[in-house]
Amino acid sequence: MAGLLTVLLNWRSAEMTLRAAESALVALEGLAGALVIVDNDSGDESFETMAAEVRKRGWDQGPQAVRVLQSGHNGGFGAGNNFGIRAGMPDGSAPDFVYILNSDAFPEPGAIRALLQHLQTHPATGFAGSFIYGDDGAPHRTAFRFPSIASEFEGQIRFGPVSRMLNCWIVAQPIPQATRRVDWLAGASLMMRRAVLDQIGLFDERFFLYFEETDLCRRAALAGWPTDYVVESRVMHIGSVSTGMRQWSRIPQFWLDSRLHYLVKNHGVAYAIAATLALICGGILWRARLLIQRKDRGDPPLYLTDLTLHALRAVLNSVRGRPAAFAKSPRGTRG
């Protein structure tokens, strides 16, 4: 049994995940494949609730053969999705394509078919992602360039002339008005060619949360498999249901760990240090402007302090010959 495998990752949001699954099943009508819901060791009876509902609604006997699996360990977003991908199709075969969908994302009826058709008609494309909009109808920026030293500085200094000068390095791109190639896409609704995953590997599970799809898309691009943004695929995304990102009072340790791991893994220690220094310099200049201008700081409290201390600890650990310590957060999915 080949076809499309849809993976939905849950962490303590069973009702929302079931809603996302319901929307996905409508969008999957007429497509050959299966859907697997992975509970990322929620510990709140999410697994039992979802398994019972799938049986009650008859989804386990439906054309998409919905299964609910328990990962048994909350290793983060990448690890949870990897668990579902490795589970494969119900008959044990590997799918031709893998589609990952956030538990707080709801594809429109034609959204999944649009991604699949795009990959089928563009054999040189590795990954394809959707146009994402909020529950208020506002489009979300989900098409990005890969992070760089220049982008770290520009993102913090928040100064028009600098942004115009460094425009070709800005990470967050204007929302595309037509289907086009990008560096990477947010993983809320992302379809991947299995042959590419066989070549480059799955998500790097050293990322607990954030930067994992950035890293995956970069590995695919380096292997000659670009990523496309498909405007015909429309998905509504509530966002931050599992991570509480909107309520961050401090920048989480797992975000700092993931950022540093991405930079060191992909560019080396010296580059990571330079990028962090660029970010800190930009942040200091921005905060100097705030002394005379009334503007929203735009960062969680103590963001610059936490990032600086995190970087210093990493440098000290490196000098002492210790590997960087990557904290494990209880947050297993994200918006």
pLDDT in tens, 144-153: 999 999 999 9
**Average pLDDT, stretch 302-306?**
95
pLDDT in tens, 77-94: 999 999 999 999 999 999
Q: What is the pLDDT of residue 82?
A: 98
Report the half-sphere exposure of 301 (CA within 13 A, side-chain side): 4
Rounded distance between C-alpha atoms, residue 14 and residue 239, angstroms: 15
**Strand pairing report for 189-193 and 143-144:** unpaired
> What is the DSSP-derived secondary structure letter of residue 138?
-
On the question of pLDDT at 212 being above 60, the answer is yes
- Confidence at residue 220, expressed as pLDDT on a 0 to 100 scale: 98
Please provide residue 144's backbone torsions phi and psi, each rounded to the nearest 5 degrees. -135, 160
- In sign, the C-alpha dihedral spanning 283, 134, 42, 92 is negative
Q: To the nearest whole number, what is the mean pLDDT of the chain?
A: 92
Which of 143, 124, 111 lies closest to 4 in space, CA to CA? 111
Mean pLDDT over residues 214-219, rounded? 98
Identify the band that residue 322 occupies on the pLDDT scale cut at 50, 70 and 90.
low
Average pLDDT over residues 296-323: 87
**Which tens digits make up the pLDDT trace of 232-283?**
999 999 975 444 455 678 999 999 999 999 999 999 999 999 999 999 999 9
| Residues forming a β-bridge with 238 | none
Question: Is CATH 3.40.50.10490 what the domain over 4-241 is classified as, yes or no?
Answer: no
Alpha-carbon separation of residue 101 from 21, 22, 151, 191, 229 (angstroms): 9, 12, 28, 9, 15
Can you give the residue ranges of every domain in the chain? 4-241, 246-319
